[in-house]
Amino acid sequence: MSESRHVPLVIVGGGPAGLTSAIYGVRAGIELELIEMGVPGGQVFIADKIENYPGFPEPISGPELSERMKKQAENLGVKFTVDRVKSVKLDGETKAISLDSGVELTCDALIVATGSTPRKLGVKGEAKLWGRGVSYCASCDGAFFKDQRIAVVGGGDTACQEAIMLSHLASKVYVIHRRDQFRAQEYIVRCATSEPNLEVLWGSVLKSIDGENGVEGVTVENVKTGEQSKLEVEGVFIFIGMNPITDFVKGVVELTGEGYIKAGEDTRTSATGVFAAGDVRTKPARQITTAVGDGANAVRAVEIYFIERGLSGRYV
């Protein structure tokens, strides 16, 4: 017989947004449970060095920052459950959550903080050199490549915007794009192509990322001729999109065409009592700092939600 229990607040996802929600929640006296299917920290855990998180004058590794966040939550009494959410269903204002382990949870409020994952090219060397020259975030890692040569893969708004930012740091930026024109907005394209140290390789695809302990170069193929060439670069930034982790809430909350949860700064979604925090929601910037802010905002929204419905008795 499967286990079932009720928890006033359930948080799904143990990255910066979820951990912050949990920390703020227990400090507000809310009984809650945090469900994480892997290692707490989310995308932060795989970061080699983090230099842009306030309060750390020296770089800190992703695993160390993740562990500090988790330890803080544990010290405050956050209950962690390692499991995967299979589905969420609404029964009036009660949320029914099914876990892989067979456990069935119900809750009054749900914070979804499952984040998103970068789409991978799947080329040789990409996985091996991830965090050692291969990156999916210019604002996170661009400063490590000051005055170096880098390659950017992609042709949409994000790829062009990030290429512009990287061109202000790197000595040379090669933009590798399989089409003969960008898909980005025209004004972004004009800005990108006006950068003197930015060169676009039209009609080209990345075939491999080369190097042993770090990126030493890339192999590029012309899509029309099949001719391959090598570029000497020290970094590769890939911007071909993100995959938000929202399969388990499809049909429960309103999603964008790309699968992100529609939610504003107050983190409220289209479903009553369901909130979205961090990279899983619609937002202009996906950073550790913005995820942490979302986590705090989500708990404040939950408090208001409980008070509005006379659920103050759901507090410890």
* Predicted confidence (pLDDT) at residue 38 exceeds the cutoff of 60: yes
Residues 65 and 127 in one domain: no
Buried b (16+ CB within 10 A) or exposed e, 67-97: eebbeebeeeebebbebebeebebeeeebeb
Residues 149 and 248 in one domain: no
Instruction: Give start and end residues of each alpha helix (H) in the chain.
Output: 16-27, 62-75, 138-141, 157-167, 186-193, 288-308
pLDDT band at 284 (very low <50, low <70, confident <90, very high): confident
Instruction: Give counts: helices (H), strands (E), the chain.
Output: 6, 17
CATH of the domain at 8: 3.50.50.60
Lowest mean pLDDT among 1-15, 196-210, 218-232, 261-275: 1-15
Pick the closest to residue 213 from 300, 125, 279 (CA basis). 125
d(CA 171, CA 151): 11
Percentage, residues of the chain above pLDDT 90: 75
- Once rounded to an integer, what is the mean pLDDT over residues 223-249? 94
Higher pLDDT, 286 or 64: 64
d(CA 289, CA 283): 13
Residue 299's CB is within 10 A of a number of other CB atoms, namely: 28
d(CA 176, CA 289): 30
Residues 206 and 294 in one domain: no
* Predicted confidence (pLDDT) at residue 2 exceeds the cutoff of 90: no
Amino acid at 84: R
- Once rounded to an integer, what is the mean pLDDT over residues 166-172? 96
Pick the closest to residue 52 from 196, 209, 165, 160 (CA basis). 165
Q: Which residues have CB under 8 Å from 236's CB, separation 6+?
A: 129, 133, 134, 135, 150, 151, 152, 153, 206, 209, 215, 218
Q: Which of 215, 238, 261 is the last residue of a domain?
A: 238
Pick the closest to residue 41 from 292, 214, 212 (CA basis). 292
Handedness of CA 64, 69, 72, 77 (dihedral sign): negative
Amino acid at 200: V
| Residue count (the chain) | 316
Number of domains in the chain: 2
Residues 127 and 106 in one domain: no
Residues 21 and 56 in one domain: yes
pLDDT band at 48 (very low <50, low <70, confident <90, very high): low
Model confidence pLDDT, tens digit, residues 196-211: 999 999 999 999 999 9
Contact 26, 312 (CB under 8 A): no
Check residue 70 and give its pLDDT. 94
According to DSSP, residue 139 is labeled H
d(CA 239, CA 154): 5
Conformation bin of residue 55: beta by default, left when phi > 0, alpha when psi is -120 to 50: left
User: To which residue do tokens 């979604």 refer?
Assistant: 269
Residues 22 and 35 in one domain: yes
d(CA 18, CA 276): 10
Model confidence pLDDT, tens digit, residues 96-115: 999 999 999 999 999 999 99
- Once rounded to an integer, what is the mean pLDDT over residues 120-140? 91
Q: What angle do CA 73, 30, 94 make, to 5 degrees?
A: 120
Check residue 312 and give its pLDDT. 62
Residue 102's CB is within 10 A of a number of other CB atoms, namely: 12
Which of 83, 100, 108, 137 is an active site residue? 137
Residues 232 and 307 in one domain: no
- Once rounded to an integer, what is the mean pLDDT over residues 238-263? 94
Residues 126 and 109 in one domain: no
Model confidence pLDDT, tens digit, residues 254-279: 999 999 999 999 999 999 999 999 99
Contact 149, 139 (CB under 8 A): no
Residues 180 and 262 in one domain: no
Residues 127 and 232 in one domain: yes
Check residue 5 and give its pLDDT. 92
Residues 133 and 194 in one domain: yes
* Predicted confidence (pLDDT) at residue 1 exceeds the cutoff of 80: no
Which of 140, 160, 210, 294 is an active site residue? 140
Check if 137 is active-site.
Answer: yes
pLDDT band at 181 (very low <50, low <70, confident <90, very high): very high
Structural domain span for residue 299: 4-117+242-314
Residues 105 and 128 in one domain: no
Check residue 287 and give its pLDDT. 86
Which of 107, 108, 141, 279 is an active site residue? 141
Higher pLDDT, 255 or 140: 255
pLDDT band at 316 (very low <50, low <70, confident <90, very high): very low
Contact 20, 76 (CB under 8 A): no
